[in-house]
Amino acid sequence: MTHRPTDPWTPTSRSAQSQALFDLAEADRAARPEAYELDPERVATTAIERSPVAPLDHGYREGLAAYLNSAGADGRLNAVGTKVVLASAGGRLAARFRIDALAAEHPEIAARTIDRPIFIIGGWRTGTTLLQRLMAAVPAVRAAYPAELSAPWAAPHPSEGQRWQRFLDASDAQAVLDSLNPTLRTVHPFGNREAEECVLAMGTDFQNWGFPSTVRLDSYAEWLKGRDFVDSYRRYATVLRILQGDAPTPWVLKAPAHTPELAALLEVFPDACVIHLHRDVVDTVTSGCSLFAVFRSTYSEAVDPDTATIDETLAARLDHLNGQHGSHRYSLG
């Protein structure tokens, strides 16, 4: 039987070390407010100036504006959260420029076959992470890891030794996140050597259902509902082709964010094997509330203490997620 919590959600108290990091960020924002402006034009200009390659197009601009404007209006971000959103936006642009340049320089990448990938989908907290990591232990398939999903151009098809070294090199960023909010690991175990949600490779066009998970982005989520994701999945497929090289091993991939866009996913990966996990919807929403609240409390001091407010937002998203997925499954017969 499901027991719905009645007490308001409250964030875990921060350690002295963690609070010191947040205080430093707030002091920096007070001293340099211009560095914390969620200005799409400024973010794009900075990314272009810093990129070692020129952008091949500017098709990202509408999504970038939707993302940053929503973060500013809906996110109620603290200084750390603002910096994380800016870094996320800049990072996705940098990835777009580098991936596009690599694909243009090596047209053979587009000819690589992605052989019957496995996609694990479902609502939040339905066991997708556990199943993926169990399956990833099988040598006949491979999963993707955060460091390579975020920067596939760094080692297009590295040796195992090179892959693990990249994971070690990324450990500093992981340590910072652990310092900011150690509770994250209790609700979603993660690490550089753990298979992770492959939507980390998406969003270079700023269409990514994973973005609203860590920051409240109400207007951005509404904008996403009307978008066509086919090109987003084509870009995502390019990342997989870069990573797998010329000797592909079948992928085992997972993300609840794939669920509402199953039609687009299957248009790009027509031979995909889709595993859809199910859980009682009330359990899914309430557990999702806990997950999202913990993540968002890292980046905002104003996470809704009334879980009903979070429930309403997540229930609407889950309804859209399942509705889109159900419509496509019905159309398949």
H or E segment at 333? none
Q: What is the residue-level pLDDT of the chain in tens, covering all 333 positions?
A: 444 555 666 777 888 888 998 999 999 999 999 999 999 999 999 999 999 999 999 999 999 999 999 999 999 999 999 999 999 999 999 999 999 999 999 999 999 999 999 999 998 888 999 999 999 999 999 998 888 888 888 765 555 555 555 555 555 566 667 778 777 777 776 766 788 888 889 999 999 999 988 899 999 999 998 899 999 999 999 999 999 888 788 999 999 999 989 999 999 999 999 999 998 888 887 787 888 888 888 999 888 755 445 545 555 555 665 565 555 554 555
The CATH architecture of the domain made up of 16-332 is 3-Layer(aba) Sandwich (3.40)
HEC readout, the chain: CCCCCCCCCCCCCCCHHHHHHHHHHHHHHHHCHHHHCCCHHHHHHHHHHHCCCCCCCCCCHHHHHHHHHHHHHHCCECHHHHHHHHHHHHHHHHHHHHHHHHHHHCHHHHHCCCCCCEEEEECCCCCHHHHHHHHHCCCCCECCCHHHHHCHHHCCCCCHHHHHHHHHHCHHHHHHHHHHCCCHHHHCCCCCCCCCCHHHHCCCCCCCCCHHHHCCCHHHHHHHHCCCCHHHHHHHHHHHHHHHCCCCCCEEEECHHHHHHHHHHHHHCCCCEEEEECCCHHHHHHHHHHHHHHHHHHHECCCCCCHHHHHHHHHHHHHHHHHHHHHHHHHHC
The pTM for the full model equals 0.86
DSSP E strand boundaries for the chain: 118-122, 252-254, 273-277
